[in-house]
Amino acid sequence: MHMQNVNVWEGARRAFDELLVKDVIFWTSLASSYVHCGLPRHGLGLLCEMGLDGVKPNAMTVSTILPACSELKDLLSGQAIHGFVVRNGIGENVFVCGALVSMYARCMSIKQARLVFDNISHHDIVSWNVILTAYFTNRECKKGLALFYHMRNEALVDMHAKCGDLDLSQRVFNMIAGNDTVAWNTIIIANSMHGNAEEAVFLFNKMLQSRVKPNSVTFAGVLSGCSQSRLVEKGFLIFYSMRRDHLIEPDTDHYSCMIDILSRAGRLEEACKFIRRMPMEPTASAWWMQSL
């Protein structure tokens, strides 16, 4: 190990040990120092120390520690951390998902890497690169090429939608074999953005019929369309199906869409009642509506 790295992590540890109160931010910072200084085992060990100290890791902690599992090719520890992610509801964090995909890929568990990748609500260039590299590194070139063409088509759907050419966007979407959640989200959100709420709802129902699992982004997209076109009853049906049929807990974005739906329809009293029943602190716009 380079002497400079030794000085860095030793200095970080001394400063950490002198702290009277050690919160999750300090624990995560120290873990990051270990991992970046080439001490992955120390980083994993710190996760255990953290638990014994009664501090709960957050999404940043997890995304910081997972590269240690990748470096060590420690699949068992990586799976244990993945279990923690699922139990604590941080599985939709893009940094956590990217780190999980990378960990499974480095541990030669390509099938699991793909499962995590498919559940990412928004695929960025980093997550695409990780999963494609995993396929080609493990000599699964046909699957890698198929995924590459899928990525290209998804980008085309998004590009044409943003340019306002929904017809061409739809045609490209129809050409994609085995559309996944991200592809469906893209075409649903595109129609919602351009005021085609009925089409967005139709596509949402078609997605369910195709047995593709929606996520929180799917619901935010279709509810946004319902809001713009004042589809109150359809909006409520979709909103209440989230928890009941899909085990997805509505967040502030979904509640804000429902408040907007009621407000645009002139049903302000119902909007105020809806705000008071929210299980979380209302947003600034929601408080403004309540004051009307």
pLDDT in tens, 119-177: 777 777 778 888 888 888 888 888 888 888 888 877 888 887 878 888 888 888 888 76
148 occurs within a structural domain: no
97 occurs within a structural domain: yes
Give the residue numbers spanning the domain of 215: 165-292
Phi, psi at 120, each rounded to 5°: -75, 130
Give yes or no: residues 231 and 114 share one domain. Answer: no
207 occurs within a structural domain: yes
CATH number, position 266: 1.25.40.10
pLDDT in tens, 232-271: 999 999 999 999 999 898 888 898 888 888 888 888 888 8
Q: In the prediction, which pLDDT does 282 show?
A: 60
pLDDT value at 290 more than 70: no
Mean predicted confidence (pLDDT) in 273-281: 79
6 occurs within a structural domain: yes
Give yes or no: residues 130 and 201 share one domain. Answer: no
Give yes or no: residues 285 and 185 share one domain. Answer: yes
Contact 105, 97 (CB under 8 A): no
Mean predicted confidence (pLDDT) in 32-39: 86
Give yes or no: residues 209 and 122 share one domain. Answer: no
Report the number of distinct structural domains present in the chain. 2
Give yes or no: residues 3 and 105 share one domain. Answer: yes
